[in-house]
């Protein structure tokens, strides 16, 4: 009993000092446990294969280590410490290479029995990307799928927001301690996720978001999910790292097709070309999940449409005309004026009416897009 407790103390130290190198589990095993790591001097650490800088860091963290303080912080913040050998540690993650030594969790961990899908994409998304992220987030959550993402601006946040709005559960893997909300703009979402899902990180509390944390946390996003969907990605995008990691971990990668001329979709289309399957509707995703025996084929009930065409029926002819001119890509008032041939005053009246009806919205000064959800 005492042994186990002591172990946990050293493990917590190791989880917080190793700062989530992908080799932290390996090193710990090689050294024969975190306790012996704690007792090693610099030479021994170097012999183990730790870099000079890494060894210095470990020694520094050892000198400043205060177990009681860290335990108190975990308690105060409501963060659980889940090392890799813990029963609660996600099984899916253990199958992935380079799984983290331990997870820090605020809220809960994804249910092992429920299917999990990661939706990832660019921070700088287009309106089309926003629409697709909302669609997949909403529909997958409605089918009982856990939605996993990174709570970033753009696709990540939008997906998780709409999954939660549909009454589902969503889990965010962070690049900072789970007690920190990064990016701060998503504070609202952060609060919701803590209640209806979880905030997961391999970094302990009080660890700030650093650029190199993010590619590392992507492997956890891939590891926690059965299927990874890339919604939107430019030719060079961090999202593609996650896709690579997902393929390495043996996960199915789906891409949302875009237009071949759209720079925001080049990354997706390249993935498609190299073997990823397209995800054109939620059924595509469910099929893949069923194939992998992750879930029974789920009858969605009605055919779900990405873009709701229904409102168009209820519009007057002029409104229909204007609505048909407004696209998912921002279009300026003058453009619409030219296309519809309406008078300026009529157009303004109709645009206002459509805005009131929630069918379109102004995205930049004088630019309109179809509103989605």
Partner 1 sequence: MVCVVYSALLHCLTGQIVQVEADISDGMPGMELVGFLGSEVKEARERVRMAIKNCGFPMPLRRITLNLSPANIRKYGTGFDLPMAVAILQAMGQIPQEATEKAVFFGELNLSGAVTSINGVLPLALCAKKAGFQRCFVPAANAAEAVLAEDMEVYPVSSLHTLMNHLTGTERIHCCKQDVDLSSKSPAYEYDLKYVQGQPIARRGLEIAAAGLHNIVMIGEPGAGKSMLSKCLPSILPPLNTEECLEVSSIYSVAGQLQEGCGLMRERPFVSPHHTVTEVAMTGGGIYPRGGLIALAHKGVLFLDEMPEFKRDALECLRQPLEDREIRINRSSGSYTYPADFMLVGAMNPCPCGAYPDRKRCNCTSTQRRRYLERLSKPLMDRIDICIEVRNVAYEELISDKRQEDSETVRKRVANAQEIQFARFKRAQFNARMSREQIETYCRLDGGCEKIMERSFETYRLSARGYYRVLKVARTIADLDGEDTIREAHLIEALHFRYADLLAEWKGV
Q: Which residues of this chain interact with partner 1, rule CB under 8 A?
A: 123-124, 126, 153-154, 157-158, 161, 185-186, 188-189, 263-264, 330, 332-334, 337, 344-345, 348-349, 351-352, 355-356, 358, 362-367
Write the CB contacts of 228 (distance below 8 Å, at least 6 apart in sequence): 117, 118, 120, 221, 222, 242, 243, 246, 251, 252, 253, 254
Q: How far is the CB of 60 from partner 1 (least distance, A)?
A: 32
Q: How far is the CB of 189 from partner 1 (least distance, A)?
A: 5
**Smaller CB distance to partner 1: residue 191 or 250?**
191
Q: How far is the CB of 43 from partner 1 (least distance, A)?
A: 44
**Smaller CB distance to partner 1: residue 80 or 123?**
123
Task: Give the angle subtended at the CA of 219 by the CAs of 157 and 212, to the nearest 5°.
Answer: 80
Q: How far is the CB of 93 from partner 1 (least distance, A)?
A: 27
Q: Is the dihedral of CA 363, 364, 365, 370 positive or negative?
A: negative
d(CA 207, CA 176): 5
d(CA 100, CA 197): 20
Q: Is 41 left (phi over 0), alpha (psi -120 to 50) or beta?
A: beta
Q: How far is the CB of 240 from partner 1 (least distance, A)?
A: 17
**Smaller CB distance to partner 1: residue 52 or 124?**
124
**Smaller CB distance to partner 1: residue 78 or 191?**
191
Task: Give the angle subtended at the CA of 96 by the CAs of 208 and 13, to the nearest 5°.
Answer: 40
Q: How far is the CB of 123 from partner 1 (least distance, A)?
A: 7
Q: How far is the CB of 345 from partner 1 (least distance, A)?
A: 5
Given strand 331-332, what is the order of strands in its sheet? 331-332, 367-370, 360-364
**Smaller CB distance to partner 1: residue 71 or 357?**
357
d(CA 201, CA 31): 24
Q: How far is the CB of 322 from partner 1 (least distance, A)?
A: 14
Positions of E strands within 202-310: 227-230, 252-255, 277-278
Half-sphere exposure of 219 (CA within 13 A, CB side): 19
355: tokens are: 């805005």
208: tokens are: 């700030």
């Amino acid at each position: 009993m005492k042994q186990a407790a002591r172990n946990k103390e050293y493990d917590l130290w190791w989880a917080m000092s190793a700062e989530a190198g992908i080799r932290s589990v390996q090193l710990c095993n090689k050294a024969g446990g975190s306790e012996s790591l704690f007792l090693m001097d610099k030479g021994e650490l170097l012999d183990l294969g730790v870099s000079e800088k890494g060894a210095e860091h470990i020694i520094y963290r050892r000198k400043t280590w205060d177990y009681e303080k860290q335990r108190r912080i975990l308690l105060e913040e409501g963060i659980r410490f889940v090392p890799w050998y813990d029963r609660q540690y996600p099984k899916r993650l253990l199958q992935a290479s380079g799984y983290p030594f331990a997870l820090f969790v605020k809220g809960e961990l994804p249910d092992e029995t429920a299917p999990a899908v990661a939706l990832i994409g660019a921070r700088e998304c287009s309106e089309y990307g926003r629409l697709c992220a909302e669609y997949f987030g909403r529909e997958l959550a409605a089918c009982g799928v856990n939605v996993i993402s990174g709570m970033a601006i753009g696709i990540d946040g939008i997906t998780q927001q709409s999954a939660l709005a549909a009454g589902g559960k969503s889990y965010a893997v962070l690049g900072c301690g789970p007690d920190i909300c990064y990016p701060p703009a998503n504070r609202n979402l952060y609060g919701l996720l803590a209640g209806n899902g979880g905030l997961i990180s391999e970094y302990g509390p009080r660890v700030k978001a650093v650029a190199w944390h993010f590619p590392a946390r992507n492997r956890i996003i891939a590891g926690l999910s059965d299927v990874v969907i890339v919604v939107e990605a430019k030719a060079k995008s961090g999202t593609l790292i996650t896709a690579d990691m997902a393929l390495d971990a043996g996960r199915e990668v789906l891409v949302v097709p875009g237009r071949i001329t759209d720079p925001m979709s080049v990354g997706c289309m390249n993935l498609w070309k190299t073997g990823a399957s397209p995800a054109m509707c939620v059924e595509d995703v469910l099929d893949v999940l069923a194939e992998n025996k992750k879930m029974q084929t789920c009858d969605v009930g009605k055919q779900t449409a990405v873009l709701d065409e229904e409102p168009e029926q209820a519009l007057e002819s002029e409104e229909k005309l204007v609505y048909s001119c407004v696209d998912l890509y921002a279009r300026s008032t003058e453009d619409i004026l030219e296309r519809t041939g309406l008078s300026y005053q009529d157009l303004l009246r109709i645009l206002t009416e459509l805005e009131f009806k929630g069918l379109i919205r102004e995205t930049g000064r004088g630019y309109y897009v179809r509103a989605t959800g």
